[in-house]
Structure 1
Amino acid sequence: MLQPMLFKLLATAGIVILVALAVARVGPRLGGILAGTPVILGPGYFFMLREQPPAFVQEAVLSTLHALVATLVFTVCFVITAERLSALRSLGLSCLVWLPAALLALQLPGGLAWALGAYLAVLIVAEGINRWLRLRQPVVVASSGWLGLLLRGLLAGGVVSLATTLGARAGPEFSGVIMGFPAGILTIAWALHERYGASVARMTVSMTQRGMLSLLAFCTVSYLGVGQLPGMLVFLLSLAASMLTSALLFMFSLWRARRLFAREAA
């Protein structure tokens, strides 16, 4: 039990620190895409596919998809409130909003199609809110040291490791919801807010909304493949689909940035 917990701790801590540093080099837009990669789902479902029967995994994946709808609501709440509230207050409020949103999403009828449809519908609303807020690419200037960033990364790893490892013992629905809880996004937003300021954190989290499409790809392939293919093959295909989605989002974001730069230069 200690080995998978340590793996999840280090994986999550690493991605939190990596995203915070990447934002300084590539900006919040591309950093948000990186934040949407399956840092929690990857380690979590790697071990779940090895340890649990296919029916358990499939039900957990569906619950994760429902929880991701609530995670979108979490990001919207943070983007709206982070400018006026402190990092902890805006994140605390976002967590309070996430809980009823997750409970409501779990009541969705049907299976995979309904979950994907609900996510895309909420994503469209989130995009509309981002345009209304007129978020802009801010200048990234670090304001806190390495020690704080390292501690937040390790804290994120500890929370994710404990939640995903123990959650699997509480049944597939609860385990899947825990996987979908935005612990990674929460700690990334916290680290960015403290290190670079509210503007950088808001822009990065808003871009994470699109970046989470890679999580949808991961869950979709897992849901369709589990029980039909060997567990590790399902994991590799899910991870490949997720990384391909992130790569496409990355290239699209670069294309848009160059287009906007050329338009402003003209």
Structure 2
Amino acid sequence: MSDAGQWTEFAIRAASTAFVVVFVAWIAARLGPTIGGVVIGLPIVLAPGFFFMLREHSADFVAASASGAIFSLAATQIFLGAFVVASTRLGAAGATAAAIAAWCVLAIPLAFVPHDPFVGTALFALTTLLARLVGRRFVDPDRRAPSPARWSLLILRGIAAGMLVGCVTFAASRLGASLAGTLLAFPIGFCVILLSLRLDHGAEIAGQTAHAGLVGVVSLAGFCLALAVTSQTIGQWQAFGAALLASLAITIALTVIAQRRPT
């Protein structure tokens, strides 16, 4: 890829991440943590990374990377569960650091095992169930009125997250398919979203959003599974489109379900 193409990739990844960080943090504060947690599942961070990967690599590479991302998303569920627990005991930085450590404990070993997409999906389902059950004990069901958003700080955090994601994009394509998928699915966006919510709106809203996010991440898993399974059969770009549609359909279904639940 030319220097101009690399900088374009960096800018799009950085901008998309910054947008989703700011948007989801605002959604969680305005419309409630449940909807915010569902919106987290949109592949606004993952999709640009795989878009550029499709332009540079073969269908085999993309399928393997998507399979690796599913295993990484299983670790993301542990990340979210750990944040829910740690947020009740630690400050914003401490809770985020504890969640990252929990992700590393699971994701690093999983990066070096065979990445069958269906095995990864089963592992994802298991970690989702466990994290939901454990996290439920630490989530306060009562809603609290959020404080006003501090837009200047939130935008700066979004930009910082975008810069980090742009750097990850450059590194991922040089690490091989499995590690690339693992690294692309590292929850950088989650880190900044939850850190911002914890700092600006308190432990309760941040914890509720993280717990709801365990369901929202199902959309990301659906995106990666569709891409892993179909990349080598229907063509890379058709698979990418199918993965986006699958993720969007899951998010819409989860949003409808969340809105119908009694508050």
Please, which of 153, 162, 167 is the counterpart of residue 167 of structure 2? 162
How far 1:241 moved relative to its partner? 0.4
Alignment match, 1:79: 84
Alignment match, 2:106: 101
Alignment match, 2:212: 207
Alignment match, 1:48: 53
8 Å CA contact 2:84, 2:139 repeated in 1? no
Measured in 2, the distance between the counterparts of 1:105 and 1:155 equals: 28
Alignment match, 1:264: none
Measured in 2, the distance between the counterparts of 1:20 and 1:156 equals: 13
How far 1:144 moved relative to its partner? 5.6
Kindly report structure 1 stretches of 4+ aligned residues shifted beyond 6 Å: none
Q: 1:39 to 1:64 in 2, by over 3 A?
A: same
Q: 1:163 to 1:133 in 2, by over 3 A?
A: same
Question: Amino acid of the residue matched to residue 219 of structure 1?
Answer: C
Please, which of 69, 74, 87 is the counterpart of residue 69 of structure 1? 74
Q: 1:189 to 1:251 in 2, by over 3 A?
A: same
User: Scaled by the length of structure 2, what TM-score is found?
Assistant: 0.93
Measured in 2, the distance between the counterparts of 1:236 and 1:39 equals: 14
How far 1:201 moved relative to its partner? 0.6
Structure 2 counterparts to residues 1-266 of structure 1, below 5 A: 1-106=6-111, 111-142=116-147, 145-256=150-261, 260-261=262-263
Which stretch shifts more, 102-111 or 132-141? Answer: 102-111
Measured in 1, the distance between the counterparts of 2:201 and 2:245 equals: 32
Question: Amino acid of the residue matched to residue 140 of structure 2?
Answer: L
* Secondary structure class of the residue paired with 1:141: coil
How far 1:223 moved relative to its partner? 0.7
Residue identity over aligned pairs, in percent, reads 27
How far 1:212 moved relative to its partner? 0.4
User: Scaled by the length of structure 1, what TM-score is found?
Assistant: 0.92
- Spell out, residue by residue over 1:228-258, the C-alpha distance to the aligned partner (whole angstroms, 9 max, x if none): 22322211111110010000000011111xx
Measured in 2, the distance between the counterparts of 1:133 and 1:41 equals: 29
Which stretch shifts more, 170-179 or 223-232? Answer: 223-232
Question: Amino acid of the residue matched to residue 35 of structure 1?
Answer: I
For structure 2, the residue ranges without an aligned partner over 5 or more in a row are 1-5
How far 1:185 moved relative to its partner? 0.6
- Spell out, residue by residue over 1:165-196, the C-alpha distance to the aligned partner (whole angstroms, 9 max, x if none): 32112211221111111111111001111111
- Spell out, residue by residue over 1:92-120, the C-alpha distance to the aligned partner (whole angstroms, 9 max, x if none): 11111211211233455561221111110
Q: How many residues are aligned here?
A: 258
For structure 1, the residue ranges without an aligned partner over 5 or more in a row are 262-266
